[in-house]
A = this chain, B = another copy of it.
Amino acid sequence: MEMLRDDGRRAEGLRPVSFERGVSRYAEGSALVSWGHTRVLCAASVEDKVPPFLRGSGSGWVTAEYSMLPRATHQRSPREISKGRPNARSSEIQRLIGRSLRAAVELPKLGERTITIDCDVLQADGGTRTASISAGFIALFDALRWLRKNEKLPSIPLKNQIAAVSVGKVAGEVMLDLCYEEDSAAEVDANLVMTGGGEFIELQGTGEGGSFSYAELAQIVEFGWSGIAEIQKMQRDALELDEAERELFKKCE
């Protein structure tokens, strides 16, 4: 008989997830995600500038920044600025979010613009990077809509629907969507970022004090894709797609 997890979930179950759009009065797109007790505020900002290597190329850029409020966690952590240097974990995560969300957009059709997705973790209970990617996609899509609505772009340059989940191995068993306690005890921690068509954009599996076999990798991928498909459905619902946008999403798969 299957063991249930502390919160009563089955191994392949997601925690309750909800997206609230338009939470920032000023940002071109924004979403607040509640994913179990994890809460991340994602704001998409459009700016008419690109990094040096793209100047004059006509192409745009998508990037992300990630940070945790000091008391997002059980114990207060000092702010990065009070240590005077970027937190290496945060840098690594924001690079992952940036790469993942860049895969959502046809950059050459974006024009010489940068969309920055700020992901600020208000409360952290595991899975903050995958929550950031999944909610960041919503903020990003609303920013693309804003660009079209304000006639800065003729159409929405969507390339892929992007969502992400974490999967782990805890006490020898593969489980979807670890909360903080599970994550702390996990032997293996994996993050999957996938397109609407079920292709990988990123797959990162780490043995934290353990290792994993090819068979376990297969199960991680199976659980991950099932969770991601569920999240992608919620993203589309939250976005209240019109007919044309629904077509656009289908074409991307």
Contact = CB atoms under 8 A, between A and B. Distances in A.
Given A88-B86, A88-B91, A195-B211, A123 B25 contact: yes
Contact of A211 (B72, B79, B80, B201): B201
Interface string A44-73: 010100000000000000000101011111
Interface stretch (A130-138, A202-210, A241-249): A202-210
A71 B88 contact: no
Given A92-B95, A103-B211, A200-B213, 16 more contacts: A25-B37, A43-B69, A47-B76, A65-B79, A79-B81, A82-B86, A86-B91, A91-B92, A103-B209, A160-B211, A200-B211, A201-B211, A202-B204, A202-B205, A203-B217, A204-B205
B71 A24 contact: yes
Nearest to A190: B203
Q: Is chain A's binding surface mostly helix, strand, loop or mixed?
A: mixed
Nearest to A201: B207
Nearest to A76: B45
A120 B69 contact: yes
A109 interface: no
Interface in A169-196: 195
Interface residues on A, range: 35 or more
Contacts of A198: 213-214
A86 B47 CA distance: 23
Given A81-B80, A92-B95, A207 B65 contact: no
Contact of A123 (B26, B88, B202, B209): B26
A85 B86 contact: yes
Contacts of A8: none
A221 interface: yes
24 contacts: A25-B37, A26-B72, A26-B73, A26-B74, A41-B69, A43-B70, A45-B76, A76-B116, A79-B81, A81-B86, A82-B86, A84-B85, A85-B86, A99-B208, A103-B207, A195-B211, A198-B214, A199-B211, A199-B213, A201-B211, A202-B205, A202-B206, A202-B207, A203-B205
